[in-house]
Amino acid sequence: MEEKHNAPIQFFSSNRKSDQTDLDHLNSLDEFFYNQQKVTLDNCEKEPIHCINTIQSYGVLLAIDIDSRQIVAASDNIDKLINLNTSQSSQTLKDVLPVINEALNPHVGKSQGVHSIVADISIEKNPFQCIYHEQQSLGFLEFIPQVDIETRDIRDNLTVLNNATSKIMASDTFQEAMDSAAKAIRTITQFSRIKIYQFQPDWSGKVVAESCADHMASFIGLLFPASDIPRQARVMMSLLPFRAITSVEKDSISNIVTVGNESEHTLDLTFSLLRGVSNMHLAYLRNFGVKSSFTTSLMYDDNLWGCIACHHDEEKSIPFDTWGIVNQLAITLMSKLRQIDAKKSAITINNIRLIEEGINNSIISGDDFENSIHQVLPELREFLNSTGIVFQYGMKTYYDGETPDEDFVEELVTWLRQKYASKNESFSTNALHQHWPRALDYIDNCCGILYEQVHLNQICHLIWIRPPIAKTEHWAGDPTQKQLEKQPDGSDTLLPRNSFSKWVSVHKDLSDDWTTTDTHAAKEILLRMFNIVSSQIELIQHNKNMKTFSYAAAHDIKGPLRYIRIAADTIGEENKKINNKTIEKMGNKALKSANRLSKSIDAMLNFLVIEQQQINFLPIDLNSVLDDAWGILGPKEEYKIIAEQDLPNNLRGNYDLLVTLFQNLFSNSIKFKKPDSELHVIVSSQMENDDITLFVTDNGMGIKLSDKSEIFEPFRRASRSKNIEGSGLGLTICRQIVQLHNGTIHVDNDYQDGTRIVLTFPKVG
């Protein structure tokens, strides 16, 4: 074929103008046309193809009133079937075809557009299949000739169907599945070319799989403009899953006449299997070198994904049963696509969970909230293969990667908010400048965008940005050229194009397309990020307020507490002179309470100070840490610590904090020792995957199972500690220190002979 090149052009955007809005509650193509604006030359949507009032003459049509079964219309080739006087009214189906009338009873009243095979009938040795459907108040009986087919051929076709179905569902890739489907359909139909045709974002179509005879031209990989399948035809494909055209010759059409009525009525043939073909489409197929065709729709979740187009270079018809077999393969193919997409979605969701966890950890652990946002933005940008990302939360805007200047971004956000904010919509395009000319000046680093928003207590926006890429498109004919015919009234009529020679366009004004997976992932990420950011901002502020209050309160209490202790000491000294037992008892209680309160305040201050410490990590010798911690406590002879001789000496951490950690653990063991028994505290270790696990085990009173889940929470003391002094913060401080070392700490629930604390520290160095 001749190959032509042309200068870069702009004739589509990645935002698909959905036909789906036309399908909502649509019972007929008539409603589609009723809702349309005035049709122009460019969109080729002038012809109401459902009201063509003709059928393909290889079959016969009767229209009846559903309630009375009176015949109201018939195709003018009715004499193929029966003798019907079209000028006589009050003729019923029972009068002219009693066998069909009787067989019709179970099929009346089904949903509109549902086709039922009523019966096989033979008229003058001509076999027909009678297919019935209802549209509004009319019932349509379509008599489709039975194509000669051997029982063995039917069995072979079913075998091909079963094998192809298994092969499609077992395919590793969707391309393999499409290739298998195309090959099987060609075997079943014996058509000379099978094309699997996928609609693009602008409703142009691309041949993504093909099986064809050697003498037929191949169109694999080529694009066809959206005007080749105009909008009303796409809506029709969404309503009726198949379409057979047995001949492209003009004399292959029969008219529909009204029975017994002087005035002619145009019938709504939206769901007719024999519906006539527009002259424009017949000319298109002839120009294409096609003499007969069969098409079945590819529907993905009630949306038109594409179609399977079967072409033949001779006139050909296939049995109605075969229509269903081909459509079943189309349904299987879309099931495979849903299966593949489900796997992709699962991977995407898992990746989103990891990003969510990363965002959460970064924001929670970061001292600087804004710095945490800057840390997670690169991951979000790379997740959708973007070169730039903009995140706006409230009045703050954060950037990462290659983005336009702040003034342009501010204009862009304003434009997006004005256009989409009120509808709470998302927006994606691979050519922003086609929607907003202002963006043309920034096309080099802001060609395509994916925009998501959420409006709750704050406005939150995420914008992913992609640059333009050099892209070569291969078309079946020049989509910019139109064949026009001047009409008597001076207007132009668009003719079907007659050239399908390979035509190449090269452009650098489009970015990579945004996929459905991209948009779903973007919305999910934004909602999760918004929730995390909102909650963490509130939590961070709340924690700051609480820490400030706690620190101030602890310092304020220590002053008066010193005077209380001094007063209690003074009372005790003075009481020695008069030796009043009541005063002595009360003074001792006051002094004891003051000392206890002082220790609690010291523990609280340690808790607040440790949480805000900056740690320098150095290699630590654990044996030395244990010696110092035990030495500070000054244990008595009835306390023994038993440590392994080969405890790790290369744990990275802060020496002073680790001494405090073990001092608190040993102190707890001493407090909860069994009365009248010697306390043994054993420290052991275990290495696994570069992590150090330490076990601090004692033979004391142990911790009740009901207390173990909360023992590390602030001021949550074990139920056995009511008569044992303590601040209720010792183990909380232990957990803080371990977490500052990126470790974990918990109580071993399975240990019954005392208490075993398990600590894990990562990254031995």
E strand or H helix that includes residue 32:
helix 29-34
Mean of pLDDT values over 267-271? 89
Higher pLDDT, 369 or 539: 369
The domain over range 618-761 is classified in CATH as 3.30.565.10? yes
CB 62 within 8 A of CB 72: no
pLDDT of residue 432: 93
pLDDT of residue 678: 85
Mean of pLDDT values over 657-669? 85
Does the structure show a pLDDT above 80 at 200? yes
pLDDT of residue 138: 92
pLDDT of residue 162: 92
CB 711 within 8 A of CB 735: no
Each residue's pLDDT tens digit, 67-79:
999 999 999 888 8
pLDDT of residue 597: 55
Question: Which of 621, 638, 628 is closest to 680 using CA atoms?
Answer: 638
> In this structure, which amino acid lies at residue 24?
D
- Of 179-193, 569-583, 735-749, the range with the lowest mean pLDDT is 569-583
Fill in the DSSP letter of residue 252: G
Higher pLDDT, 687 or 597: 687
CB 51 within 8 A of CB 269: yes
Mean of pLDDT values over 475-481? 63
Mean of pLDDT values over 46-53? 72
- Of 129-133, 633-637, 737-741, the range with the lowest mean pLDDT is 633-637
Structure-token match 């303590």, residue found:
726
- Of 31-45, 98-112, 179-193, 651-665, the range with the lowest mean pLDDT is 31-45
pLDDT of residue 7: 31
Dihedral sign from CA coordinates of 297, 299, 303, 306: negative
E strand or H helix that includes residue 396:
strand 396-401
Cα distance between residue 84 and residue 649, in whole Å: 105
Reduced to 3 states, what is the DSSP secondary structure of residue 11?
Answer: coil
Each residue's pLDDT tens digit, 237-249:
999 999 999 998 8
747: phi then psi, degrees, rounded to nearest 5: -95, 135
Strands 618-620 and 651-653: antiparallel
Q: In what order do the strands lie in the sheet with 303-312?
A: 4-6, 502-510, 469-476, 223-224, 205-212, 193-199, 303-312, 292-300, 242-245
pLDDT of residue 741: 82
> In this structure, which amino acid lies at residue 212?
C
pLDDT of residue 716: 60
pLDDT level of residue 35 (50, 70, 90 thresholds): very low
601: tokens are 């305040």
Cα distance between residue 98 and residue 109, in whole Å: 19
pLDDT of residue 388: 93
Does the structure show a pLDDT above 70 at 169? yes
pLDDT level of residue 19 (50, 70, 90 thresholds): low
Cα distance between residue 30 and residue 239, in whole Å: 12
Q: What is the DSSP string of 463-482?
A: EEEE--EEEEEEEES-TT--
- Of 20-34, 244-258, 492-506, 664-678, the range with the lowest mean pLDDT is 20-34
- Number of Cβ atoms within 10 Å of the Cβ of 246: 24
- Which of 136-150, 440-454, 703-717 has the highest mean predicted lDDT (pLDDT)? 440-454
712: tokens are 């590390």
Higher pLDDT, 88 or 17: 88
Mean of pLDDT values over 346-366? 70
Each residue's pLDDT tens digit, 275-315:
998 888 888 888 888 899 999 999 998 889 999 999 999 99
Cα distance between residue 264 and residue 316, in whole Å: 32
Compute CA distances 412 → 430, 481, 545, whole Å: 15, 35, 37
- Which of 236-250, 471-485, 492-506, 556-570 has the highest mean predicted lDDT (pLDDT)? 236-250
* Residue ranges per structural domain of the chain: 391-466, 540-611, 618-761
pLDDT of residue 672: 84
pLDDT of residue 42: 44
pLDDT level of residue 545 (50, 70, 90 thresholds): very low
- Residues 391-466, CATH architecture: 2-Layer Sandwich (3.30)
351: tokens are 């990746």
Higher pLDDT, 447 or 540: 447
For 515, residues 6+ apart whose C-beta sits below 8 A from its C-beta are none
Mean of pLDDT values over 626-645? 74
pLDDT of residue 20: 46
Mean of pLDDT values over 60-67? 92
CB 694 within 8 A of CB 625: no
Question: Which of 702, 684, 697 is closest to 754 using CA atoms?
Answer: 702
Structure-token match 């009726």, residue found:
240
CB 24 within 8 A of CB 522: no
pLDDT of residue 539: 55
pLDDT of residue 1: 37
pLDDT of residue 438: 93
Cα distance between residue 722 and residue 704, in whole Å: 14
Mean of pLDDT values over 172-185? 95
pLDDT level of residue 614 (50, 70, 90 thresholds): low
366: tokens are 């970061």
Higher pLDDT, 526 or 9: 526
Neighbour-count burial of 552, counting CB atoms closer than 10 A to its CB (0-12 exposed, 13-18 middle, 19+ buried): exposed
Does the structure show a pLDDT above 50 at 355? yes
- Of 107-121, 124-138, 341-355, 636-650, the range with the lowest mean pLDDT is 636-650
Dihedral sign from CA coordinates of 398, 399, 405, 411: negative
pLDDT level of residue 401 (50, 70, 90 thresholds): very high
Mean of pLDDT values over 193-214? 91
Does the structure show a pLDDT above 50 at 2? no
Each residue's pLDDT tens digit, 427-448:
889 899 989 999 999 998 899 9
Fill in the DSSP letter of residue 402: S
Each residue's pLDDT tens digit, 717-735:
554 555 555 556 778 878 8
- Of 88-92, 413-417, 478-482, 525-529, the range with the lowest mean pLDDT is 478-482
Does the structure show a pLDDT above 90 at 197? yes
pLDDT of residue 440: 92
Higher pLDDT, 502 or 434: 434
For 682, residues 6+ apart whose C-beta sits below 8 A from its C-beta are 641, 642, 643, 695, 696, 697, 698
**Where are the extended beta strands (E) located within 699-751?**
744-747
Does the structure show a pLDDT above 50 at 468? yes
pLDDT of residue 63: 93
1: tokens are 């074929």
What does the buried/exposed string (b/e) look like for 376-413 if buried means 16 or more CB atoms within 10 Å of the residue's CB?
bbebbbebbebbbbbbbbeeeeebbbbbbeeebbebbb
Mean of pLDDT values over 616-622? 80
